[in-house]
A and B are shown apart, each in its own frame.
Chain A
Amino acid sequence: MSIKYAILGILAEGDLHGYELKSNFDERVGEFWSLNYGQIYSTLDRLEKEELVTHDRQAQDKRPDRKIFSITPQGRDELTKWLSTPVTKVRALRDEFFVKLVFMDKTTPGPLLELIEKQKVLYLKHMNRLTHRKVALKKEADSLDALTTELLMDAGLFHAEADIEWLALCELKIKAAIDPKE
């Protein structure tokens, strides 16, 4: 699972407290992946058991010690190996819309066609907002960090576009199935 590697990636850049790790994670990949503290700490636990991560204790006034996490040499090896391996699992078709499609009545397709129309509008609005944020980002920042964000925004736009085109095709095929003359 990628949470593990995202955490290794962040720790490879420097040692961090748990909450710093969480805010770094949110800033870098939060757009695609939301995590709560529980998930962060349970993943850190697992990484420690696998000896990919270790921690030090830092004393604090009047409060319990804080843990500072760091990546181990084995952790770095594991991260390097993961970074250089292409992703073999293609994006899973797990969209909630697909489940709706399965259960919607195709014999009276009016409501289904309406749903498709609404879904298309939603994706278009999403693309519109994302594009405007991208334009704003390109104006203010020109660092390599901004490049990563831009590329990920592009991915979001291409996926949404594919969804819109697929929905338009659904519409045509559903209509053709009801009235083969159309």
Chain B
Amino acid sequence: MQEVIQERFKISPFLVIYMVLSMQIGIGVLGFQRIIAEDAGHDAWISVLVAGASLHIIMWMIYKINESVNGDIVTAHEFIAGKWVGKILSSIFIAYFLLLALTVVRTYVEVIQVWMFTDINLWWFSVCFFLICIYIIYGGFRTVVGISFFSFVFHIYLYPIFFFNLQYAQWNHLTPIFENSIKDILLGSFHMSLTFIGFEVILFFYPFIKEPQKSKKWAHFGLFLTTIGNTILMIISIVYFSKDQLAKSIWPTLTMWKIVKLPFVERFEYIGIGTWSLVILPNVCITIWIASRLLKRIINIKQKHGVIYIVIAMSIAINFIDTREKVSLLNDYTGLAGFGVTFIYIPLLFIILMIMKKVKKK
């Protein structure tokens, strides 16, 4: 049932950190602050911290699931539900990852449309983008991981830029700490899910990791880094904007770049948005790779063919999301789906799997 992955297709355990980082840093980072602050006010950074901390438990469960069946989620599904039901369960995830890729590309095109080129053609841009993705995925899983490493290295220079905003910091925006109720703060944590989802990809490429035991600490370290990064970004946004102003900005991260002036560039957001295409590239590549891998595992078609089918489906689907309202709706649904998968489905799978293991042993 479980195919054996050849050693030459596998990746070193430390590379898992780049997979986690590039999946978690996506389109959500450009605009999560407003949604969290709507619930938790000036305590929103606590929400981010709480959400981040809870991810470590889920990550622990993901590794437990993989270890107990020594394979990916498809193996786990077949173990608990048998061959056919297992396959149906797994195929739901094809839709989930297509939704993720679609959301990322569509939201990014919207950012370009609003901030840079109003008349950029949605379809042409997405098709070109998908063509690059096909090219990368044809290079194999190791190339996909390589791209996520590169994208991390290439966009890391954007983060020190936020210190420009600290010149305008009003630290009394943060006090009094814990003024908002715990319920509001947790609601903020819930809305944080769109930004934080993505790390569950480990469930799918686990068999590709050499010595997976060693990759655990890297996966957790990756989660830790994004949590700290997002918390700092949230704090900077709170001290930079006043509350009602933040509630009005759809992309606070981009609005924050508007104040930056460097000797060689008058307005930084154009550079930031351009660089962001490198950030979403591995994001889309990984999701399409997983969707095509699932196709291969479930209905046994060649992965190279699967990728083409997926891209064709997405190129058609993306045309239907043409207004700001629909993009926003798409984001909401994806966030909800992500929350469902990460915080409900994975723990459920974990519990069922553990019980089944116990029963079968007896």
Say if A and B assemble together. no
